[in-house]
Copies of this chain bind each other. A is one copy, B any other.
Amino acid sequence: MNREIHLVKRPEAQPTDEHLKIVESHKPEPKEGEVLIKTLYISVDPYMRGRMSDAKSYIDPFQLNEPIEGGGVGEVVESNVDHLSEGDIVTGMLSWKEYSTAKGDQLRKIDPELGPVTTSLGILGMPGLTAYFGLMDIGQPKKGETIVVSGAAGAVGSAVVQIGKIQGCRVIGIAGTDEKTTYLKETLGIDEAINYKTENVSEALDRACPDGIDVYFDNVGGEISDAIYPRLNKFARIAQCGAIASYNIPNDQGPRMQMHLIKSSALIKGFTVGDYQDRFTEGFQHLSKWLKEGRLSYEETISEGFEEIPNAFFGLFEGANLGKQLVKVAEPRQK
């Protein structure tokens, strides 16, 4: 037997159990060019909320009554592909199934000797690359500048914080629990960390950014960003990576911000990591090097069990995760 998680209703606001359903099925048969994969880890990511809507976007919506798909790590249990063998650990876009088939050319083989396989879903995967390209290409940080990062203790944010420090910048992080601000300060060595749930963000920014804000890496949007815009320095750059505060609020309203952009001649650039596909090798090289040198660290929050995938996903919108949120679905058959 096999289990799958289907989207059964499109959420208008916060996704809940009524939108996702665990469905029993049979193990699929891999066709020519495909492999059968036993899912080991599933990555849940805020961007997936967008695919649950059927609005036009950079990526097609999930289909109703079909499995969700997202980043994952799995073990090849049957292969109809020359370059992959039983026992290989692979990463790629996997269906939310205990066992799934995938095309061999859309999977990347991981060498487990190089480090934990979960890093392919985090610091050495899409979140790490998102942090790298958003900060370096859009943020263009210069030594001594002030960077503010929202969602700073998440998978992307915590990488941005550390890359910002590597660039010689003053880095301020905003997060939603004292555990997270402590992590930012004590583990990542951030200059200032603001708990937006217990502090007045505007006042805290005035204290933490006496010289204004040069770069803002935005994962959240909403009221936190409202407090950033009036504090931008001339020619500030904003990497608009996410807007999780708005994802579950239909027609979310807030102060118009065009005037702030004019006053500071500031730039906002929306992006997704796919925009940088041609430069992934460059990103991997930098991230791997910094990781080996001990200049990058990462955290993971790992839920256990296939049936925990929906809750792990819902928890993203409450900020339940420190670092990368994963779900461990199974152990590999052989280590």
A→B interface (CB under 8 Å):
50, 55-58, 218, 221-222, 225, 230, 234-235, 240-243, 246-247, 251-256, 258-272, 275
- Is the CB–CB distance between A225 and B259 below 8 Å? no
- The closest CB in chain B to the CB of A249 belongs to B256
- Is the CB–CB distance between B258 and A255 below 8 Å? no
Nearest chain B CB to A231's CB is how many angstroms away?
9
Q: Which of A57, A221, A262, A265 has the most CB of B within 10 A?
A: A262
Residues of B within 8 A of A260 (CB): 270
Residues of B within 8 A of A270 (CB): 258, 260-267
Known: A251-B255, A253-B253, A256-B253. A262 touches B234 (CB 8 A): no
Residues of B within 8 A of A218 (CB): 258
Residues of B within 8 A of A55 (CB): 263
Stoichiometry, as copies per complex, reads 2
Known: A234-B58, A253-B254, A254-B253. A221 touches B265 (CB 8 A): no
- Is the CB–CB distance between B263 and A56 below 8 Å? yes
- The closest CB in chain B to the CB of A261 belongs to B270
- Is the CB–CB distance between A246 and B221 below 8 Å? no
Residues of B within 8 A of A275 (CB): 235, 265
Q: Which of A242, A253, A258, A261 has the most CB of B within 10 A?
A: A258
The CA of A279 and the CA of B148, in the complex, are separated in Å by 32
- Is the CB–CB distance between B271 and A258 below 8 Å? no
Known: A58-B234, A234-B58. A246 touches B258 (CB 8 A): yes
The CA of A223 and the CA of B161, in the complex, are separated in Å by 36
The CA of A105 and the CA of B261, in the complex, are separated in Å by 31
Residues of B within 8 A of A268 (CB): 258, 261, 267-269
- Is the CB–CB distance between A58 and B259 below 8 Å? no
- The closest CB in chain B to the CB of A264 belongs to B270
- The closest CB in chain B to the CB of A226 belongs to B256
**Which of B247, B262, B271 contacts A243, CB < 8 Å?**
B262
Nearest chain B CB to A117's CB is how many angstroms away?
29
Known: A221-B259, A252-B255. A267 touches B264 (CB 8 A): no
The CA of A263 and the CA of B56, in the complex, are separated in Å by 8
**Which of B58, B221, B225, B264 contacts A263, CB < 8 Å?**
B58
A selection of 12 A-B contacts at a CB cut-off of 8 Å is A50-B259, A56-B263, A58-B265, A221-B258, A240-B258, A243-B262, A246-B258, A253-B255, A254-B254, A254-B256, A262-B272, A266-B269
- The closest CB in chain B to the CB of A243 belongs to B258
- Is the CB–CB distance between B262 and A242 below 8 Å? yes
